[in-house]
Structure 1
Amino acid sequence: MLLSDNTYPLDLVKIKSAHPFMLPWEKLGKWNVDFFVAQLDKKRDYPRANLGGLRLECAPYDRLTLGFSRTAIFGGEGRPHLGVKNYWDIFWARGELSQDVSKNASNQLSSVDFKLNIFDNLQFYGEWAGEDKFAPWENESPGFLAGLFVSDLFNMRSLDYRMEYARNDAAWYTHGIYTTGYKYKGNIIGHHMGGDAQDLFMRISRNFSENQDYFESFTLGGEFDYEQHGRTLAYPEDKYEVAIDGIFYLSGSKSARLMLKRQEYRNFENVSGTKAYNNIFEAEANIKF
């Protein structure tokens, strides 16, 4: 809900733990810590604002992982200079609900999440998130995500299935001071559905190992996605999307991906009775070095 691949890659400075480590609370298991700071684009209400993020993760049991994440947009051209006290207030999310530009120093989101492996091939996961609060449970309009992942479905090797549902309210990814919102280069930094929305996603795929002269393996997949935008409005927009794709893993850390996608909109742009359709073909190449 806080960070996704929905937007362009960020140029950032990142500090993270090199290896999981123990704290005095041994029952919480080993910990990982990630911290980053990035600069956003200049085409926004406060150009070149900063985006900071912190994630804490622990594994109290072999099959359970718990996480806490926070992000904040702060600073930028035209905003007051930030001193040590301001950064302290940002950390504790003080003044987050104030409409006073001088007191509201940042746009913050936070979440708690878990991953639970019931069996070796079955995983449940979820996230509970909040807007403009220090902790997600303080929020009156929380967002959440719940999902499951099954590998080797029906005992068929490399046949994977994923189902995921997410929902949030109208306040999500908006802000009274940073009116551009929780975006980078026009795209939502968090969940692709945006605010005041819900999303149901399902995907099934299978990997085939061929070891041919031109590629080592390939994955065939199919997916369905239903999104509802403006769900609290009089005419919510419904978007239905189906897609098939193939990913070919070539020798030498190279891969290629082809996708064919069909989209259908009802109550397009929240106008009653309007419809729209899209047919999309995507081609992608990746080289790792």
Structure 2
Amino acid sequence: MEGVVVKEKDGYFWSITCLMRIRILSAALFFAFLSTSSAFASSSVNVPFALPLYRNMELWVAKGLIQSNLSSTRPFSRAEVGRLLAEALDKCDALKEPTTACSDLQGPTAKYFEEEVSEVRSRGSSPSTFLKPIDALSITYNRLSGPFSIYNNEGINYYDGNNASVQFQSRGRLWNVFSFFIQPIFSYYQKFDQIEGNDEDELRMHKGYVKLTAGNFEVEVGRDSLWWGPGYHGALLMSNNAHPFDMVKLSNPEPTLLPWIFHWLGPFKFNLFFSELNDGRSGSNVAHPYLYGLRLNFKPHPFFEAGLSHLALFGGSGRDLSFFDVIKILYSNKNRDNTKFESNQELAVDVALMIPNIRKLIFLADSVKLYAEGGAEDTGTLPDRRAYLVGMALYNPFAVEKAVFRVEYADLSPGSVPAAWYSHGSYPMQYDGRVFGHHAGSDADDIFFEWSQDIEKFFYKLGLDRERSGIQTKADVQEKNQYFGEMGYRIKDNSNITVRYSYEEITNYMNVKDDDKRNHFLGVEAALYF
């Protein structure tokens, strides 16, 4: 059935899809307004992805200690982490017999977020104004042999030879309303840009932002990373593969239970952001484009989570736009190449199902998480050029305590237009040379396996990642196989050391026949938390 169309005075047509998108945005803003009536948490900064918190929290969710989380929209604020930890600790206190998960929960993580947990239980118990000049400090050394593939590292590059970095994090709060975070990084590269003898050092602000919080509504201005979707190894639209964005972001840091007929949607979170990408684009790529993103996340059942994401890259140098031009670009679903209304857009829907306590039914694991993300690019009555990601995690598989087995597969090579994802003549979905969705990139697929386990103070993981690119568009498909291992040791509650090694085999490097590579990666990191 064809959609109803309305002709505008400038000759463009808005389909019914346009009206649906405007309604989605209106609903998002309406929900945002409702979210301000939720709990009045103090302003707090976000928890960096590098912390083991996210991995540990997934284990506690699998044990059923946390049920009100919305894990598919990250990062979490420290206040939100405090709320979730308080929920889990209360459930542990109610148990007749303590469990291993509860013992772990009451360890270093609870101590690191002690103030946030205390604030949840007693509002006003933590200082309204404070400054932590050094909240975390890390020293990293990495040695690469060959053009080893680095991904999901917030745009931080390493090159052949020796690489070293020192970074620290500072945070603070003013009057419970403002909070701020900075993360400078000093790096040394023996062969910068893979050039022999081109050693270089660099000092830059990796992340830094200020937040204004009013009730359960916050505005974040500055540089930060995002991850949208349930994927562990990748995400179709937004991951931490690229450099953090300079952006203005609106969100509700803690989930809101919506009133009236919307309560059946369960806890709700949203992200809405705008950014200008100043990353030195050249050639046919439009310089200084604008990036818009909207994320809606719901949890209608304690075990089921769903999300909707939308990205648009548009505007830039030489393309002056009015407010109504921007609305038309974002919500009209019309492809207008080589005009100021040109854009590159992506949509995705994701779901995640956690099934806890299933060992009585099957011996395979204590809990299972199943998840999927489906995305579409650009035009069509329904946007087409589809990609998808599916995954599974088994918790305590085969009765192995504190172990997780993961498998995840992504297909980014749609049959209709194989190279559609992330590539575009004017607006490629990249920032500083890196895709900010799935690291595999255009016309590619990726399958990932990982086994990980915590043993007292030790942590290790072993895995394999197999990636193919140029599947349908190149005569010679590039294949990458990465075999990796990681081992960590917690020296004290606030310090740890991690050693990583990876071996990579590449066939038909850069899609050149018989150009094969054998690359190595060795890394050591020491981290201290205050």
Look up the match of 1:243: 484
Q: 1:35 aligns with which of 263, 272, 295?
A: 272
Q: 1:255 to 1:70 in 2, by over 3 A?
A: farther
Checking the alignment, whether the CA contact within 8 Å between 2:333 and 2:378 is kept in structure 1 is: no
For the residue of structure 1 that corresponds to 2:384, the secondary structure is coil
Matched residue type, 2:276: Q
Matched residue type, 2:404: D
Q: 1:124 aligns with which of 370, 377, 384?
A: 370
Offset of residue 100 of structure 1: 2.5
Q: Identify the structure with the greater helix proportion.
A: 2
Aligned counterparts of 1:275 and 1:150: Cα–Cα separation in 2 = 35
Offset of residue 288 of structure 1: 5.1
Gaps of 5+ in 2: 1-235, 358-366, 414-418
For the residue of structure 1 that corresponds to 2:269, the secondary structure is strand
For the residue of structure 2 that corresponds to 1:25, the secondary structure is helix
Matched residue type, 1:55: R
Offset of residue 50 of structure 1: 2.3
Look up the match of 1:91: 330
**Alignment partner of 1:185 is 2:422:** no
Checking the alignment, whether the CA contact within 8 Å between 1:93 and 1:133 is kept in structure 2 is: no
**Alignment partner of 1:114 is 2:351:** yes
**Alignment partner of 1:275 is 2:516:** yes
Q: 2:382 aligns with which of 131, 138, 141?
A: 138
Aligned counterparts of 1:36 and 1:140: Cα–Cα separation in 2 = 24
Offset of residue 146 of structure 1: 0.1
Which has the bigger relative contact order, CA under 8 A and spacing at least 6? 2
Q: CA offsets per residue over residues 181-204 of structure 1, 9 Å max, x none?
A: 111111111101011000000000
- Map 1:38-57 to 2 at 5 A: 38-44=275-281, 45-57=285-297
- CA root-mean-square deviation: 2.1
- When the two structures are superposed, what TM-score results if normalisation uses the length of structure 1? 0.87
Structure 1 residues 237-246 or 86-95, which shifts more? 86-95
Task: Give the count of matched residue pairs.
Answer: 275
Aligned counterparts of 1:57 and 1:222: Cα–Cα separation in 2 = 31
Look up the match of 2:442: 195
- Map 1:197-276 to 2 at 5 A: 197-209=444-456, 217-232=457-472, 233-251=474-492, 253-276=494-517
Aligned counterparts of 1:191 and 1:77: Cα–Cα separation in 2 = 27
Q: Identify the structure with the greater strand proportion.
A: 1
Matched residue type, 2:326: Y
Aligned counterparts of 2:504 and 2:307: Cα–Cα separation in 1 = 34
- When the two structures are superposed, what TM-score results if normalisation uses the length of structure 2? 0.49
Structure 1 residues 272-281 or 183-192, which shifts more? 272-281
Q: CA offsets per residue over residues 126-168 of structure 1, 9 Å max, x none?
A: 000011249xx92332010000011111122111111000011
Checking the alignment, whether the CA contact within 8 Å between 2:329 and 2:341 is kept in structure 1 is: no
Q: 1:251 to 1:93 in 2, by over 3 A?
A: farther
Checking the alignment, whether the CA contact within 8 Å between 1:124 and 1:149 is kept in structure 2 is: yes
Look up the match of 1:11: 246
Checking the alignment, whether the CA contact within 8 Å between 1:110 and 1:133 is kept in structure 2 is: no
Matched residue type, 2:399: N
- Identity between Structure 1 and Structure 2 (%): 28
Look up the match of 1:82: 321
Matched residue type, 1:20: P
Aligned counterparts of 2:471 and 2:277: Cα–Cα separation in 1 = 29
Aligned counterparts of 1:284 and 1:101: Cα–Cα separation in 2 = 48
Gaps of 5+ in 1: 210-216
Checking the alignment, whether the CA contact within 8 Å between 2:421 and 2:443 is kept in structure 1 is: yes
For the residue of structure 2 that corresponds to 1:264, the secondary structure is strand
Checking the alignment, whether the CA contact within 8 Å between 2:378 and 2:385 is kept in structure 1 is: no
Aligned counterparts of 1:5 and 1:70: Cα–Cα separation in 2 = 17
Q: CA offsets per residue over residues 39-98 of structure 1, 9 Å max, x none?
A: 3233113333222211101111111101001112223223x2221211211331533x32
